[in-house]
Copies of this chain bind each other. A is one copy, B any other.
């Protein structure tokens, strides 16, 4: 491939002039510019971003660390990031960690030696070790989808409030025996979400003078099967729920199947509300009422923040809480005789 020297020689100018042309410097005569452009085109010359990055110590590249891109949630987030990055002439290097701390560290180091301008980190958890590496590396970064005790930029939704709202929505329809299917409360994976959402549920119940019943609180693992099993156990436990809040859509679908297999109907006998608003939640039967997570916006906002930080702009807000909202479909209805 032709390089800057080739162009300079053939155009009878110095490489500085060629460089100026390709950087839209105003200090080039129209004549020289036209000539350089012509020669460049003939030669099929494109400036090497690599060499430019080395010279400028700026790569216009952003590292992106997520657990698993094959999960539609992350797909949505990443799409938001990429769109914004593309707008600002950044490109992204994608890394999948499966939430493994080792992989996270390995990737951060790789991105560092690639001189990325910044990193967007979306993991189920920001460990102390990873936090330290970030700080030591001095690479600008923002956390997506996850808050932290550390004073770093992040963009999240208010999981507790979202769960509170979901529960209160159920309560507003007259339901009293409200069950919850949550995820693991210990270990790394998605733990924080589970804890926060369970808290929001409990708070809503208390605030509304409803009894919190252990039989109606069940742990699952975010898979459909686990949601199914947990719901079935709940139904069989003796105290029948009139509504169930599953903290993910997939588990909610498992819950609906369980209700059906138990011989009841959803929403007539038991209402179900989910969380996430994944694509298919609107085509299932019944279509799923759910708490919508702004996946795309989470990514887009994180990218905007990071690009600002990279450009040394001041953030008006270091921590952004995106709004969730309840998408009302057909899996919830009013309590009988309410």
Contact = CB atoms under 8 A, between A and B. Distances in A.
Contact of A283 (B53, B83, B257): B257
Interface in A64-92: 64, 68-72, 74-76, 78-79, 82-83, 86, 91-92
A303 to B, nearest CB: 13
A272 interface: no
Interface in A37-66: 44, 46-51, 53-54, 59, 61, 64
28 contacts: A44-B136, A47-B113, A50-B53, A50-B54, A50-B59, A54-B54, A61-B93, A64-B94, A68-B79, A69-B69, A69-B79, A69-B82, A70-B75, A70-B76, A70-B295, A72-B72, A72-B75, A72-B279, A74-B75, A75-B75, A78-B94, A79-B96, A82-B95, A83-B96, A94-B94, A224-B283, A254-B283, A257-B285
B59 A70 contact: no
Given A51-B54, A93-B93, A112 B70 contact: no
Given A224-B283, A280-B280, 11 more contacts: A44-B136, A50-B54, A50-B114, A64-B94, A70-B296, A74-B75, A92-B93, A93-B94, A253-B284, A260-B285, A284-B284
Interface residues on A, range: 35 or more
Contacts of A53: 50
A interface majority secondary structure: helix
Given A50-B54, A50-B59, A250-B280, A78 B82 contact: no
A169 interface: no
Contact of A78 (B69, B91, B282, B284): B69
